[in-house]
Amino acid sequence: MVVTGVKPGVAQTLGLGGNNSTTIILDGPAEAFAPGKQYRVQHRNVEIPFVLIWLIIGAVFFTVFYKFVNLRGFRHALDVVRGKYDDPDDAGEVSHFQALTAALSGTVGIGNIAGVAVAVSLGGPGATFWMIIAGLLGMSSKFVECTLGVKYRKTNEDGSVSGGPMYYLSNGLKNKGFGNLGKVLAVLFAIACIGGSFGGGNMVQINQATALLTEATGGENSIFFDRGWIFGTIMAVLVAIIIIGGIKSIARVTDKVVPFMVGIYVVAALIVLGANFTEIPSAFGKIFGGAFHAEAMYGGLIGVLIQGFRR
């Protein structure tokens, strides 16, 4: 859509056809708004996926039902991670800290960096606020998920432990009289995990890693340019060596690599904040303004909320 005659900082209602309209406010230096100049405005309808609504409802329910365990249990969580309750004689294959690092190894990166960038680019600065809220509520969902995983895990004859949604869906629903439904859901979840691991878990990450390595080693002059299979093969071999040994092998690697990785992540974030220290107050203003004042956001409050929770 092309509009003319707009003024900086002044709201203008645009017809979108039929009975639909939207309000825009163009912001910028006065000299950028020359008389008769045309401006192209892109309007995007926002749809709310059912799965998003379901996740939000579940997270809110768990948070209220368990009396804000995401806040009350924070100190206890730190005590667990630092080994206060570790006992070598307890059942299990890894320590609490190793379990945490194994989980973080697949979280920091594709979710915390790429996911946040996508959410902000689509939902604006206000999406940051809803990502924080989503993270807090998601802690309650994760608490329930992990509790069920421990409750319904299976200890095999060789001492190894098997668990996860496949087990608590099958066994948990069986205890409630829905055994057949539990088996079907468990199988569907396992199949979905295969797709997720190959898609978001492997393809996206190795693609980004290859692109960055190629750029860092000379771009078009790099040995990896148009030869992504070289780096892919190297990574596949290294990953195979680690995961073929099972969860113990994975944990032995992650409890050494992940703290270093998280340290780089935090230090890099602090450097960026320090280099742009004077912009922090303005950033907070845009985050809260974009989250609660829908008229100031072209996508509106719903669009910001959706992008924030979706990430």
127-141 pLDDT, tens digit each: 788 878 888 888 898
Residues 97 and 35 in one domain: no
Q: Tell me the HSE value of 263 on the side-chain side, using a 13 A CA sphere.
A: 6
The verdict on pTM exceeding 0.85 is no
Residue 147 CA: distances (Å) to CA of 140, 183, 251, 272, 310: 11, 20, 20, 37, 24
Residues 13 and 150 in one domain: no
pLDDT at 308 over 60: no
212 belongs to a structural domain: no
Residues 211-251 pLDDT 10s: 888 888 888 888 888 888 888 899 889 888 888 877 788 88
More confident of the two residues 50 and 149? 149
pLDDT in the model for residue 68: 93
**Alpha-helix residue ranges (DSSP H) falling in 161-277:** 165-175, 179-196, 204-216, 228-243, 246-275
Residues 297 and 252 in one domain: yes
Which residues on neighbouring strands pair with residue 12, listed in sequence order? Answer: 24
Q: Which range, of 66-70, 225-229, 267-271, 300-304, averages the lowest pLDDT?
A: 300-304
Residues 101 and 8 in one domain: no
Domain count, the chain: 2
Residues 35 and 88 in one domain: no
The average confidence (pLDDT) of the chain is 77
Residues 54 and 150 in one domain: yes
Whole-angstrom distance, CA of residue 1 vs CA of residue 43: 8
Residues 212/205, Cβ–Cβ less than 8 Å: no
Residues 146 and 279 in one domain: yes
Q: Given the structure tokens 């045309």, which residue do they identify?
A: 38
Residues 54 and 33 in one domain: no
pLDDT in the model for residue 255: 86
Please, which residues have CB within 8 angstroms of residue 275's CB and are 6 or more apart in sequence? none
Helix then strand then coil, in percent of the chain rounded to 5, is: 65, 5, 25
Residues 150 and 248 in one domain: yes
> How many CB atoms are located within 10 Å of the residue 1 CB?
13
Residues 236 and 305 in one domain: yes
Q: Which range, of 27-31, 56-60, 116-120, 216-220, averages the lowest pLDDT?
A: 27-31
Give the largest Cα separation in the chain, rounded: 80
115 DSSP 8-state letter: I
The domain in which residue 94 lies consists of: 50-165+232-310
pLDDT in the model for residue 116: 74
Residues 153 and 250 in one domain: yes
Residue 2: pLDDT band with limits 50, 70, 90: very low
Residues 148-186 pLDDT 10s: 988 888 887 877 778 888 899 998 899 888 889 999 999
